[in-house]
Amino acid sequence: MVSEMDPIASIKKEYINELVAQEKREDDRAFDEHRNIKIIPNYIKKAEGSAYVELGDTKVIVGVKYDAGKPFADIPNQGVMTTSAEFAPMASPEFESGPPGENAIELARVVDRGIRESEAIDTKKLCIIPGEKVYIVFVDIQILDNCGNLIDACGIAAITALLTARMPVYDKDGNPTEEMVPLPLNKIPITCTMVKVNNKLLLDPALDEEKVLDSRITVSTDDDGNIVAMQKGTGGSFKLEEIMEAVKISKEQGKKIREIIKNSIKEEESG
């Protein structure tokens, strides 16, 4: 939200609102169009899985690592996934060093929820010894350059990293072997984030659009077009028809992004 005490931000808000009223955006995209997406799978060779993603000028890296530990008491036969995000000061003048702040925690939770609620990972296949030892999958998000819409960039990077991930095979006694197998994935959930500016929904907000938004909504869908997660951010509100429009856009864009991810992995494997 723009502070009334910030004249420069107020001028920017007025400018963007005027553009939206004319059905335009600063970068000439359509309201329902993502910026250019670039994906490099297996970007970190020492990680069990990884991906580098550019969404416009926003740049992120996600790495996947494994450990073995005790399962949760209520799900003794299922593995665990945990997601974290680090906002390095080099990525934005607004980021500070130290423990994860509110925005980093929210980002990790939204990305995590889209994957978890879609049941993309077959967590039952992550059980090593029932009730004693399971795989713990760590999804680590690193922000390199924040130019808006970290949620979608990190969501794309996270699922791509998981798709490329390999995990060690354990023997019947719970000891790791040298054999590696793919992480058991069933689906490719995609998160699509839109902001409401001047009563219009803008997909994939650039940084300036984020700074003047009235509200934000993220919709995650799976391969079958099912809504698996939804998150409203900041203040403001959405009408029912606006939510339905956000869902429609997310389903359409989800199909396109899945193909981009699949093609990027094919190219990396063949290259």
Q: What is the pLDDT along the chain (271 residues), one digit of tens a residue?
A: 444 446 667 888 899 999 999 999 999 999 999 999 999 999 998 899 999 999 999 999 999 999 999 999 999 999 999 999 988 887 787 777 766 778 899 999 999 999 999 999 999 999 999 999 999 999 999 999 999 999 999 999 999 999 999 999 999 888 989 999 999 999 999 999 999 999 999 999 999 999 999 999 999 999 999 999 999 988 889 999 999 999 999 999 999 999 999 999 999 988 7
Q: Residue 88 corresponds to which amino acid?
A: A
For residues 36 and 150, what is the distance between their CA atoms, to the nearest angstrom? 14
Q: Residue 172 corresponds to which amino acid?
A: K
What are 221's two structure tokens?
A: 């869908």
What are 159's two structure tokens?
A: 């699922």
Phi-psi region of 51 (alpha: psi -120 to 50; beta: other; left: phi over 0): beta
For residues 115 and 141, what is the distance between their CA atoms, to the nearest angstrom? 14
Residue recorded with tokens 């719970």: 174
For residues 55 and 88, what is the distance between their CA atoms, to the nearest angstrom? 18
Bridge partners, residue 49, by sequence: 64
Q: Which domains does the chain have, with CATH numbers?
A: 7-270 (3.30.230.70)
The sign of the torsion formed by the CA atoms of 61, 67, 73, 77 equals: positive
How high is the pLDDT of residue 87? Answer: 87
Please check whether residue 134 is in contact with residue 128, taking contact to mean a CB–CB distance below 8 angstroms: yes
**Vertex 90 angle, CA 109 and 40, to 5°:** 65
Please check whether residue 37 is in contact with residue 259, taking contact to mean a CB–CB distance below 8 angstroms: no
Q: Residue 269, class by beta-carbon neighbours within 10 Å (0-12 exposed, 13-18 middle, 19+ buried)?
A: exposed
How high is the pLDDT of residue 1? Answer: 43
For residues 258 and 97, what is the distance between their CA atoms, to the nearest angstrom? 34
Count of C-beta atoms within a 10 Å radius of residue 182: 12
Look at residues 145, 160, 124 and name the one whose alpha carbon lies nearest to residue 264.
Answer: 160
How high is the pLDDT of residue 163? Answer: 97
Q: How far is CA 7 from CA 2, 3, 4, 12, 120, in A?
A: 9, 8, 7, 9, 46
pTM listed for this prediction: 0.93
Look at residues 187, 92, 195 and name the one whose alpha carbon lies nearest to residue 144.
Answer: 92
Q: How many CA atoms lie within 13 A of 96 on its CB side?
A: 6
For residues 163 and 188, what is the distance between their CA atoms, to the nearest angstrom? 8
What are 173's two structure tokens?
A: 């006694």
Count of C-beta atoms within a 10 Å radius of residue 10: 14
**Which residues neighbour 102 within 8 Å (Cβ) at sequence distance 6 or greater?**
none
